[in-house]
Amino acid sequence: MDDPQNQDTRERVVGGYRLLRSLGRGGFGEVFLGEREDGTRAAVKLLHASWAGDEGMRRRFTAEVEQARRVSGFCVAAILDADPEAEQPWIATEFIDGPTLQASVEADGPRTGVELQRLAVSSATALAAIHAAGVVHRDLKPDNIMLAPDGPRVIDFGIARAVEATSVTASGVVGTIGYMAPEQLEGARLTEAVDVFSWAAVMVFAATGREAFPGPTQASRIARILSGGPDLEGLEGPFAEILRDCLDKDPEARPDAATLMGRLIAGPLVDGGHRNPTRGPEGNDATTVTPSPDAFTRVGVDPTRVAPPSNADAAPVDPTRAARVDPTRVAGADVPAAHAAPPRSLSQAPPPSGPPLLPERAPDTAESYRPAPHSHTPVPARGGALPPYHFAGSRFHDPGSLAEAMREDWGAAVQIFNNPAERAVLGAWIMDDLRDTTMDRALFRRDVRDANLAVASFIAQSRPDLPPTFRGRDASMEGLRALFADPRPLLTGAPLANEMALLARPELLRILDAHTGPEAGAHRRLAEDLDRAERVGTALYEELSRELEGWRSTHSTVNPALVMAFLLHPELIVQPADGGDGGVAEWIDILWRRVIAADLPDSAGYAAAVHGAMSTVQALARQRRYWEERHSQVSGTHEALEEKVLFQQRMQRAARWCKYAIVALPIGFVLKLADGGGFGEFLFGLGLLALVASLSINVTNAVMCGNAARRAQRVMELHNSRQQLPQLDSGVGRIRADLERARRITSG
C-alpha cells in the first residue's frame, strides 16, 4: 500500500528549502521535494547520516556536485545549490515534474513507434553531452531517467566518475545489475562505453518492458551479461541492430555516444523506413556487416591488451593469443611432412601468419611426452607425433597441462570458450586428435551460456588434482571461507560484491566439487545448502507478497552471495540495524522470527531475505508513520472541530429561539396598553428578555466562533475531515492488519 503523498511529515529546512515529502531513497542518500519561501522547488538530496561521518563518502558527494556542474544543464537536472561540507551534506537540483522511465513503463507499458525513437534520440543526446563534459555516469538505468514535459533528463551522478580517472585507475564495480556492462561487472577499467551498454539495456526495457539480460536470480543475470546474448525478442530492423552493437561484450566494438546519436537520427528506426545501420561518425555509408555468432557472447577484453589483426580477412582468433604459429608446422617441425596427420582436424588447420613461434612447452614427439597427474593420456597421431594445441602463445600436447595454463590465464581461456570457432578447434583437438573419451562433449557441442563455468568445468575434468580456482581466485573451501568472512561489500556495493555473486552459484560449486582435496564433497554440500536456502528465502518473499497488501508491489530479492556468507559463517547471522526507527525495528523483529525458528541452511536463506527486504521495510515504516500521524492529526482536528461546530450550532439554535421570543415584546406592549393586565406585562417582559439574550448570544458566538463566514468554513472543514477519516481509518487498519498477518506467517 503506497503512501498517497509519499510524505515525510518531519518538518525540516535544509539550505533554505523546506522539505515537503520524500521522493526516493537509495543506499547513500534520500531525495526530498524542497520548497523555498519564494516558491522555488528543488529535489534536495541528503547524504544519509550514517555516511555523513565517512570522509570517503563526503569526497564522493563533493565529486558528484562538481561532476554534475560540468554537464550541460539541458539534459540533466541542473544544480541550484549545494553544501558538501555541511554536517549532513546536501545538494539541491532542479525538480523534474514527471515520472521516472521505470515508473512510466510499469504504469503505461512499453514505448513504441515514434515515441520510442524520440526517447532513444533524446536520451542518447543527453549521454553525448555527459561524455562531452568528460564524465562517465556508470549507473544509467530507467530509475535515473526522468521524463520531463520538455524531454528526458538524466539524474543521479552519485557514482559517476570523471573519464580521466576511470579510464586509467578506477576498478570499482558499482552500478545496478541488469544495466551494467561486462567490464563493469569484472572490475576492469572503465570508459564511456559502459554508459553506451547501459543506454542500450535501458532502451530494451523501454521498448519491451523487460530487462535485456533477464534471469531468475542475480547470479544468473550476471552470468548472462558476461557470457550470454541479450533478449531482443520483438525488436527488429535498424533499431535492433543498433542495440546489438551497443550491447557488444567488447567495449571497443560499441559506438561512442556521438556516433550513436548520429545513427539514431539518420533515418527511421521503427514502424517502417529503411536505412544502412552502419553509417560512420562522418556520415559515410559502410557495408552492412552481419555480426559473427560470437558477437553476443564474447566477454569484453581490456582494449590495451588486444591488438587488431593486420589482415582484415583473417579468421577470428582469440585476441589473447599474441603469438602466431608457423603455417608450415602443423603436427611438429621434427616430423616429415609425409608422416604428418591428415588435415581432418580443426586444430591442424593453417593458422594466420604472424610472428615466429614462442618457445614450446614440450617436444612434438610421443616418446618425450610425460602426462601430468590425472591428465588424459593422448593417443599419438600417425608417425608418432602428438598434434599440439596453441594457447596464449605456447604449445600443449595434453589436456592436463593445457588446463593448468588456462587456470593461470583465465581471461584467455574465457575467450576460447566464448568464441564458437575457437571452442570447436579445442573440441576437435580433444576428441579427434587426442581421441579422448572422458571429457564431457557438451563443452564443445552445445552453446555456451557462461564461459566462466565452461572454463571451470574443463579444468576440473582435466586436472581434478589441482586446487579449485575460479577467475584466478582461490575457490577451495578455505578460500571461500576467507572471501565470504566479511559480507560488507554485499551491503555497500563494493567491487568485491560482483565477484562474490559469481562464486555463489550452485552450478559452479558442483563443478568445483570434482576437484580432489581435504574436504571431499564439501562444495557439493554447500551447493545443495545454497540452493535450498535461496529457495526458502524467495518463498518467504512470495508468501509475504501474496498475503500482505503492503508487500504486493515490492521487488525484494534474495542475494545468493549473502546466503553463502551466512552458510560459511553462521556467526554472521545477526539482525540488520534498525537505524533507531521503531517501525523498522518492529518489522525486523517480526521477520526475524523465521530465522530464529529455523536451522541451517534455511536460517541463512531467511536471514538473507530479511537483509534484502530492508528497503521495503523502511518504506513500510515510513508509510505507517505517515498514515498514523495523519490519522492522529485529522482525528484530533476532527474532534476539536466537532466540539466547536456543536457549540456554535447550539448558540445558533438559542439565537433562533430568542428571535422567535422577541415577537412577544410588541404583543405584550399592546396588551399592556389595552387592559393593563398582568398577561400583557408578562409578554412584554418575555420579549424584552429574549431581545437581551439574542444580543448576548450573537456577541458570544462572534467572540467564541468567529463571524458567519468563519463559522461556515468550520462546518466545511468538519465535513472534509469526516470524509478523510474513513480513508485514514482504512489505511491504518490495513497496515495494522498486515503486521498481524506477518506475525502469524513468521510464527507458523
d(CA 558, CA 565): 13
Burial class (CB within 10 angstroms; exposed 0-12, middle 13-18, buried 19+) of 508: buried
pLDDT in tens, 279-305: 333 333 333 333 333 333 333 333 333
Instruction: Identify which of 217, 185, 177 has the alpha carbon closest to the alpha carbon of residue 531.
Output: 217
pLDDT average, residue stretch 469-478 = 93
Q: Which of 8, 139, 318, 450 is the catalytic position?
A: 139
User: Which of 25-29, 171-175, 424-428, 599-603 bottoms out in mean pLDDT, i.e. has the lowest?
Assistant: 171-175
- Structure confidence at residue 731 as a pLDDT band (50, 70, 90): confident
Q: Report percent pLDDT > 70 for the chain.
A: 76
pLDDT at position 215 is 80
* Average pLDDT, rounded, for the chain: 77
What residue type is 238 in one-letter code?
Answer: P
pLDDT average, residue stretch 73-94 = 79
pLDDT at position 383 is 43
- Structure confidence at residue 316 as a pLDDT band (50, 70, 90): very low
- Structure confidence at residue 560 as a pLDDT band (50, 70, 90): very high
pLDDT at position 292 is 35
- Structure confidence at residue 334 as a pLDDT band (50, 70, 90): very low
Tracing cell 534498525 back to the chain, one arrives at: 578
Q: Report percent pLDDT > 90 for the chain.
A: 30
Reply yes or no on whether the pLDDT at 352 is more than 60. Answer: no
The grid cell for 60 is 564522493
pLDDT average, residue stretch 11-24 = 82
d(CA 124, CA 75): 10
Reply yes or no on whether the pLDDT at 24 is more than 80. Answer: no
Collapse the DSSP code of 659 into the 3-class scheme (helix H, G, I; strand E, B; otherwise coil) and give the result.
helix
Question: Residue 653 to residues 53, 502, 696, 697: CA-CA distances in angstroms?
Answer: 64, 78, 13, 10
- Structure confidence at residue 463 as a pLDDT band (50, 70, 90): very high
Check if 271 is active-site.
Answer: no
pLDDT at position 202 is 95
**605 vs 218, higher pLDDT:** 605
Helices (H), 212-344: 218-227, 237-246, 257-265
Collapse the DSSP code of 136 into the 3-class scheme (helix H, G, I; strand E, B; otherwise coil) and give the result.
strand
pLDDT average, residue stretch 401-405 = 95
pLDDT at position 346 is 34
pLDDT average, residue stretch 624-630 = 87
Burial class (CB within 10 angstroms; exposed 0-12, middle 13-18, buried 19+) of 263: buried
The pTM of the full predicted model, rounded to 2 decimals, is: 0.58
Burial class (CB within 10 angstroms; exposed 0-12, middle 13-18, buried 19+) of 721: buried
Q: Where are the domains of the chain?
A: 13-94, 101-287, 529-620, 629-747
pLDDT average, residue stretch 465-482 = 94
Is 45 assigned a ligand-binding role in the annotation? yes
d(CA 673, CA 171): 110
Reply yes or no on whether the pLDDT at 124 is more than 50. Answer: yes
- Structure confidence at residue 50 as a pLDDT band (50, 70, 90): low
**579 vs 323, higher pLDDT:** 579
pLDDT average, residue stretch 636-642 = 84
Q: Residue 497, Cα to own-chain centre: how many angstroms?
A: 13
d(CA 31, CA 744): 35
pLDDT average, residue stretch 129-143 = 85
The fold adopted by the segment(s) 13-94 is Phosphorylase Kinase; domain 1 (3.30.200)
d(CA 621, CA 588): 11
Reply yes or no on whether the pLDDT at 736 is more than 70. Answer: yes
**5 vs 547, higher pLDDT:** 547
Greatest mean pLDDT among 62-76, 213-227, 467-481, 541-555 lies in 467-481
pLDDT in tens, 233-270: 989 889 999 999 999 999 999 999 999 988 888 766 65
- Structure confidence at residue 663 as a pLDDT band (50, 70, 90): confident
Reply yes or no on whether the pLDDT at 306 is more than 70. Answer: no
pLDDT average, residue stretch 585-593 = 95
Collapse the DSSP code of 447 into the 3-class scheme (helix H, G, I; strand E, B; otherwise coil) and give the result.
coil
- Structure confidence at residue 402 as a pLDDT band (50, 70, 90): very high
pLDDT average, residue stretch 393-410 = 93
pLDDT average, residue stretch 163-185 = 58
pLDDT at position 470 is 94
Looking at domain 101-287, which CATH architecture does it have?
Orthogonal Bundle (1.10)
CB atoms within 10 A of CB 633: 13
- Structure confidence at residue 713 as a pLDDT band (50, 70, 90): confident
Reply yes or no on whether the pLDDT at 521 is more than 90. Answer: yes
Instruction: Identify which of 46, 8, 11, 6 has the alpha carbon closest to the alpha carbon of residue 26.
Output: 46
pLDDT at position 56 is 66
pLDDT at position 666 is 80
pLDDT at position 677 is 67
Reply yes or no on whether the pLDDT at 542 is more than 50. Answer: yes
pLDDT average, residue stretch 417-428 = 91
